Amino acid sequence: MADRTPVITLLLENRKALFDYEIVERFEAGVVLTGAEVKSIRAKSANLRGAYVSIRRGEAWLVGWHISAYKQATQAVHDPKRDRKLLLKRRDITNLTAKQHERGMSIVPTEVYTKGSLIKIRIGLARGRKRHDKKQLLKERDINREAERAIKHGDYGE
């Protein structure tokens, strides 16, 4: 019997959000898009920087996601920064709302990927990092990079 797990391909990653925030919990959501927007995303002409999730009247909306106009589109051009509705389960929305208000957290998109033929977005309940936390993270990355480089080249500091 053939394996029916859908192929997952990463299209976009919000590295700035991963640096600025500590992701506490992650959720997978669908997103309502037009055909030209889907083509643009698959062509990787979209940017998640500065985007966030807002919950209004019991619905989740992705605000500030810039999707460039698709050059070969024949229909009217879409607004690149329009708010896009996220498709989440009701219990996930109430869970996110409660945690966001009780702890003062943000909801940010972390990555966009295809799952089979569908475009999905991973959002995260996030706590903002302080400046000293960001500096510590950069130091740790540098140390790890140097260690990897030393192991790769056989330079053990002798």
The whole-number pLDDT of residue 69 equals 84
Q: Per-residue pLDDT tens for 27-60?
A: 999 999 988 888 888 888 889 988 999 999 989 9
Q: What residues contact residue 117 under an 8 Å CB cut-off, 6+ apart?
A: none
Show pLDDT as tens, one digit a residue, over the chain (158 residues).
566 788 888 888 988 888 888 888 899 999 999 888 888 888 888 899 889 999 999 899 999 998 888 877 666 667 778 899 999 999 999 989 888 887 778 899 999 999 988 999 999 998 877 777 778 888 888 888 888 888 887 765 55
Q: Where are the domains of the chain?
A: 9-129
User: Positive or negative CA dihedral for 123, 124, 130, 134?
Assistant: negative
The whole-number pLDDT of residue 102 equals 76
The Cα 115–Cα 47 span in angstroms is 19
**With contact defined as beta carbons under 8 Å apart, do 11 and 112 qualify?**
yes
The whole-number pLDDT of residue 57 equals 92
The Cα 21–Cα 107 span in angstroms is 10
Q: pTM to 2 decimals?
A: 0.74
The whole-number pLDDT of residue 20 equals 83
Q: Which CATH superfamily groups domain 9-129? A: Small protein B (2.40.280.10)
